[in-house]
Chain A
Amino acid sequence: MPPKSNAKSDPESAAPSFEAALTRLEEIVNRLERGDITLDESLAVFREGSDLVKQCLARLTQAEATVLELIAGEGGLPATTPARPGLEGDDDALV
């Protein structure tokens, strides 16, 4: 494995991915709908589910789209650079 040249490659690894949050949320809803759960548990998972809903919706609406270019840098190692003008921050892209 060549070393990764881009340190900020995965800033979202700390928080659960959207998919993981969604999967957990579906589990919670299914569990609550089955009803084989104690009252205490149901209130606990309900709280967890509500947090997941907030997380997921936040993930959907945050608009920090980036376009980078991947080039062969020194020694042929992959390196990312900001995209050339016209690709990143293209006004059309946000319409």
Chain B
Amino acid sequence: MSPMEAFSFERRITTPSEINRRVKQLIEGEIDELWVRGEISNFTRAASGHLYFSLKDSTAQIRGVMWKGNAQRLRFQPADGVEVEIRGKLSVYEPRGEYQLNAAEMSPAGLGALYMALEALKRKLAAEGLFDQGRKRQFPAFPIVVGLVTSPGGAAVRDLIRVARRRWPSVRLVLAPTRVQGEGSAVEIAAAIELMNRWGQADVLIIGRGGGSMEDLWAFNEEIVVRAIAGSRIPTVSAVGHEVDVTLSDLAADVRAATPSNAAELVVPDAREWSERIERLNRQLNRAVVDGLTIRRRRIESITATHGFKRPRDFLTQEAQRVDDLARRLALGTERRLIDARRRASDLDRRRQPALRNLLTRSRARLDRLSAQLGSLDSTAVLSRGYALVLRADGSSVVTTAGDLRPEDRLMLQFALDRAAVRVESTIPGGPGDI
């Protein structure tokens, strides 16, 4: 440092930090929140979720930032070249001495007023309960007639028809044609919904259109359309624009589809899926009936395998065998018996004469023996009293009279216990004498 400088008048020295701090105080203190309109460029979305961009007009630009918290509430996609309106405050980034617009809210240019009106309408209808989850109805799983409320010339109706037919070849589609954008389109859409309700034969309504700008989709934010959807007796599916586009119609409908194709997928069942399900049921049906029969057969087998059942069965078997046997024997036996009987009869015939003769002979012999015994018993009794029996000497015959005798005949005297041999001296005629 030179001596000259040391003696110069006192200079007021500041620093970059201090300048930036003073500028920050000045800008942030003096300039209130403001609305800025410009075109976005150098747009980047940081990994943190913060948005960085420049906002420019034909001659100048300003750096801008939107913190994550505000960025999450955005209802549209900012991008380079998009004209936007931003509500925010100026702020200074002290380390770099840069100032920037700190955006709290951002909307496409020209729609700001519309958005405010939309928010007001949304609050009003929500307060009436039109968006309540409790109002949401289910539509039939297998609609026969699907009502379409859309433009007959748009891509949406073609997508709907193509997807619906591909999924369920016999689906019946009825289109209530309406314009879906431009002046008066909202009234037409509402009228088409009412016409569908008066017709009353659709099982479900798909209401929507293909993608477009926010202005293109605006009819579906109109009160008359939202009320028509909320008042439809037929369940409704909204299909407005693309996934990111959410209209009041979407909030009022029973189901919100992301796109028209998606609506057809939600509403029309997939025949291929269901034919698989039917085939599966068919297999289950067959298996169940076969299982039922198998179980019954096993049950019968397990019963018949038990001792208690086996015995009667054995018994029955044996009975059956016996019956068989008997039948066989009956057949055989009858014949054999006839043969036997016949043979026995002829045998008897053959044996009859000798048998009888034997019998008679044996009987007679027995009778002779008995009568002889009787005779001898009788005579013995007499003889024991002192009488004697006179027999020829050979014992062959009894001599009953002397007149049969000659002198010198040899006789036998039979006493009760013994005999004596005698000779005749003479015979004497006459009576019994003195005895």
A residues neighboring B (CB under 8 Å) = 1-2, 4-6, 9-10, 12, 17-19, 22, 25-26, 28-29, 32-33, 35, 37, 39, 42-43, 46, 49-50, 53, 56-57, 59-72, 77-78, 80, 83-84, 87, 90, 92-95
Contact = CB atoms under 8 A, between A and B. Distances in A.
A59 B170 contact: yes
B310 interface: no
Contacts of B291: 33, 35
A42 B289 contact: yes
Given A61-B169, A69-B152, A87-B175, A32 B285 contact: yes
Contacts of A29: 281, 284-285, 288
B278 A19 contact: no
Nearest to A50: B285
Contacts of B191: 72
Nearest to B288: A32
B271 interface: yes
Contacts of B274: 22, 56, 60
B195 A28 contact: no
Nearest to B272: A60
Contact of B174 (A17, A39, A80): A80
Interface string B145-161: 10100001000011001
A65 B169 contact: yes
Interface residues on B, range: 35 or more
B161 A39 contact: no
Given A4-B201, A17-B144, A53 B281 contact: yes
Interface in B280-299: 281-282, 284-285, 288-289, 291-293, 295-296
B116 interface: no
A61 B291 CA distance: 30
B195 A39 contact: no
B275 interface: yes
Contacts of B292: 32, 35, 37, 39, 42
Contacts, number: 146
B200 interface: yes
A78 B142 CA distance: 24
Contact of B278 (A35, A57, A66, A93): A57
A5 B173 CA distance: 16
Contacts of A60: 168-169, 271, 274-275, 278
B313 interface: no
B201 A10 contact: yes
A75 B346 CA distance: 121
The 4 A-B pairs of least Cβ separation, nearest first, read: A32-B288, A78-B199, A63-B169, A60-B271
A32 B289 contact: yes
Contacts of A84: 152
Interface string B174-187: 11110000000000
B395 interface: no
A92 B158 contact: yes
A27 to B, nearest CB: 11
B172 A65 contact: yes
Contact of B173 (A10, A42, A68, A77): A68
> For B140, B169, B274, B278, which residue has the most chain A Cβ atoms within 10 angstroms?
B278
B177 A22 contact: no
A94 B171 CA distance: 12
A9 B144 CA distance: 10
A42 B293 CA distance: 9
Contacts of A33: 284, 288, 291
Contacts of B176: 69-71
Contacts of A43: 289
